[in-house]
Amino acid sequence: MLIARAPVRIGLGGGGTDLEAYYRRYGGCVVSTSIDKYFYVFLNVIQDEELVITSSDYRTFYRHGNQHVLPIDGDLALPKAVLNEFGIQKGVSMFLASEIPPGTGLGSSSSVAVATIKAISIACGVSLSKHRIADLACQIEIEKLGMPIGKQDQYAAAFGGLNFITFTSRGVSVEPMEVEPETRRELNQNLLLFFTGSSRDSAKILTEQKGCSEKDDPEVIAALHAVKEMALEVKAGFERGDLSRFGELLDLNWQRKKRFASGITNPLIDECYSLALANGAVGGKITGAGGGGFLMLYCEPEHQAVVTAALEARGLRRMDFRFELDGARVLLNAGLRLPQENFAGIGATTMTHSGGP
């Protein structure tokens, strides 16, 4: 058996500027941290001509006979696409499980891609750098599956930690943040996550945002420019150990983000956000593209009990978390190795770029 995992993330600034429609012309950047909630992949070799995938999140079971080409469709399209990239059509049993429901704005789909790539590459004996794993996840999600998403989540899941990530037409750069341990601890302590009770399909929101960026919609472009500048300010504040303005920047970021596309907020989100601020939170936002998922708040410890009670009375549920540093990793490998004939069609691009960025 082989067990691999990849973390989900929370964006702390710059979200939305990682979409190609924006960064290829203007350059984008985000401040992002991975957290200790993970997506897991369990691999086993099976001695037959079939391939089996089971997902606990989607309550789905799929069995593939080797006589047919593996179809890239359905709820399991993403892990199927990774298997297809490595040319695997048989001899594998894969079980998928997550600590976070899909569609909740913490980048879980990209954690699926990254964890699956990590597991399969190790099983195939292919050494991939963190940068190459993230890049391959982007290729599969954005180019092959046509998902209208950005590149923040894949790099956050692959690298782990608190990072400043930049996006240009030339590529992606990941810079670990030089933040004092006490500042990191205080930041973690002051951030709260509340599940709104609903997941959402981010594709509609992101497709609209992408279209507005491609058309140079002045309001959307101005909002994205402002969000990018706030990310730079967040980075500077963290690195000098000053969190005093971060909550205000989160609030400004949220006000700008609501201009990216319709559907980013709704009456329940607006009500709960106002309720949180009225009870002592400084600022916050909906994680990910918006529309549901988790409400993230910056709140000093003395106000957290009151804010938590007010939001939970409204039906939200607080999720405790900690920052994590590892990124994608293998937790257990009991000597699992796929026979060469099971992945003879492994993609040339994967092999070519196996050593580094």
Reported as a single tens digit per residue, the pLDDT across 85-137 is 999 988 899 999 999 887 777 888 999 999 999 999 999 999 999 999 999 99
> Which tokens go with 75?
């709820």
User: What are the counts of helices (DSSP H) followed by strands (DSSP E) for the chain?
Assistant: 12, 12
Per-residue pLDDT reduced to its tens digit, 190-230: 999 999 886 655 566 667 666 777 778 888 899 899 999 99
Q: What confidence score (pLDDT) does residue 210 get?
A: 67
Residue 188 has pLDDT above 50, yes or no: yes
17 neighbors 303 (Cβ within 8 angstroms): no
Q: What confidence score (pLDDT) does residue 349 get?
A: 45
Percentage of residues in the chain having pLDDT higher than 70 = 90
Strand, coil or helix: what is 104? coil
Residue 340 has pLDDT above 90, yes or no: no
Residue 354 has pLDDT above 70, yes or no: no
Q: What confidence score (pLDDT) does residue 259 get?
A: 77
Total residue count of the chain as it appears in this document: 357
191 neighbors 67 (Cβ within 8 angstroms): no
Residue 291 has pLDDT above 70, yes or no: no
Residue 351 has pLDDT above 50, yes or no: no
Residue 348 has pLDDT above 50, yes or no: no
Percentage of residues in the chain having pLDDT higher than 90 = 67
Q: What confidence score (pLDDT) does residue 357 get?
A: 40
Residue 161 has pLDDT above 70, yes or no: yes
Identical fold between 2-176+325-352 and 181-319: no
Provide the pLDDT confidence category of residue 171 given band limits of 50, 70 and 90: very high
Average pLDDT, rounded, for the chain = 89
**Mean pLDDT lowest for which of 108-112, 177-181, 249-253, 340-344?**
340-344
Q: Is 102 exposed, middle or buried (0-12, 13-18, 19+ CB in 10 A)?
A: middle
Active site residues: 153
Q: Where are the domains of the chain?
A: 2-176+325-352, 181-319
Residue 343 parent element (H or E): none
Choose the CATH number for 181-319 among 3.20.20.70, 1.10.3720.10, 3.30.70.890, 3.40.50.300.
Answer: 3.30.70.890
Q: Considering only CA atoms, which of 328, 30, 2 is closest in space to residue 158?
A: 328
Give the HSE-up count for residue 193: Cα atoms under 13 Å, Cβ half-sphere. Answer: 24
Distance, CA of 226 to CA of 14 (rounded, Å): 9
Cα Dmax for the chain = 62
Q: What confidence score (pLDDT) does residue 352 get?
A: 42
Q: Give, in order, the Cα–Cα distances in Å from 351 to each of 15, 136, 155.
A: 31, 11, 19
Per-residue pLDDT reduced to its tens digit, 21-63: 999 999 999 999 999 999 999 999 888 778 999 998 888 899 8
Q: What confidence score (pLDDT) does residue 289 get?
A: 57
> Which tokens go with 184?
């990191």
What is the edge-to-edge ordering of all strands in the sheet holding 283-286?
Answer: 283-286, 294-298, 191-195, 317-319
> Is the dihedral angle over the CA atoms 318, 9, 74, 42 positive or is it negative?
negative
CATH topology for 2-176+325-352? Ribosomal Protein S5; domain 2 (3.30.230)
Q: Considering only CA atoms, which of 349, 207, 233 is closest in space to residue 289?
A: 207
Regarding pTM above 0.75, the answer is: yes
Q: What confidence score (pLDDT) does residue 209 get?
A: 65
Ramachandran class of 15: left when φ > 0, alpha when ψ lies in -120 to 50, beta otherwise: beta
Provide the pLDDT confidence category of residue 287 given band limits of 50, 70 and 90: confident
Strand, coil or helix: what is 155? helix
Q: What is the mean pLDDT of residues 169-176?
A: 97
Q: What confidence score (pLDDT) does residue 217 get?
A: 82
115 neighbors 6 (Cβ within 8 angstroms): yes
Q: What confidence score (pLDDT) does residue 353 get?
A: 41
> Which tokens go with 159?
């690298």
Residue 331 has pLDDT above 80, yes or no: yes
